[in-house]
Structure formats: structure tokens, C-alpha cells
Amino acid sequence: MPKHKPERKFGTAAVIFLIIAAAMVLYLLHKGSFEKFLVLTDTNTKREIERYSIKDGERFSITFVHSVNKSPLTDVYEIRGNDIYVVETHYHSFGAGVQTEIEDGQTLSYTSDGTMVVGGFDKLIPDLSYFVGTVSDHILKIGNREISLRELCGRNCKVSFSCKQKIF
């Protein structure tokens, strides 16, 4: 009577385990069971400052007072996959240091309060970062939340923004 080798049983169990694990990963990916985060990182220390849940197609913005123009400016970004695209900018006045001409493919519109909205950028921003609070605070708006980056990161912090996902 031949003896069964323990290695063979272990090998079969390992194959079954791998098949089940692969099936679970495929199921989770198919069901979209992953969460994306907008991750803020201190570029000098590489320390993660904070992360915020965000969905594909969702927009977030950064508002600050322009250091040269001295008026509020809001940059609006959109998450696409794991990439960040700039889609529009809101100006309260033209002047030094801000865009003064509309380029091909861009649009200019006005809100009811007179804010100028330049849209149609649709440009990938692979390395999005800001120097926080050098002249004024920078306000991150994501969903219904407004976050003071000066309070969160500290004055004169260079903060980078990236999109990362976690599979459950």
C-alpha cells in the first residue's frame, strides 16, 4: 500500500487556497469594493498628513488669496481613476499673476455673484502641490467639508495631493 506524502496534501491545499483568494479579489474588484482617498502628504518629510474618502469623478477645490493679484482664486480638480485633473479656475478679478486670455478649448462664464469661471482645462496634474498659508490660508473643499490647510498642515508647509485606493 503506497504512503501519501504530506507535501502533496499541502500542495493541493495551497492551490485551493490560491484559487479561493484569486476568486475573492476578482469578486471585490468586480463589485467595486474599494475605496479611494485623496491623500495629503508633507513633501519635505514624506509624512502623510491626512486622507479623505473620494469617488471617481468627484471634484475638490483649493481656494486661496493670490499672492500677486490679492484676490481669491479657486482651483477645481476632478478625480479620474487614480489621477487628478484640473478642470476649472474661479477668479474674482483679472490681474497680475492670473490667466488673462482664454485658450482654445477653454470657456469663460460668470456666476450670479460675478465670479469668473474659466473651464475646459481638462489637464492631468501628476504632481499637485501647494505652499500652504504663505500669504493667506488655503481652504480644501471636498464634498460638503471645508478644511483649513493652514490649521491641518501648518504655515509654509508644502503639501502634495495624490489619489490612492484601498481594496477591502
Query: What average pLDDT is seen over the chain?
Result: 84
Instruction: Give, as one character, the DSSP assignment of residue 29.
Output: H
User: Contact at 8 Å (CB) between 72 and 43?
Assistant: no
Beta bridge partners of 139: 63, 148
pLDDT digits (tens, 9 = 90+) for 70-99: 678 899 999 999 999 999 999 887 666 666
pLDDT of residue 166 exceeding 60, the answer is: yes
Of 89, 85, 69, residue with least CA distance to 77? 85
Q: What pLDDT score does 1 carry?
A: 59
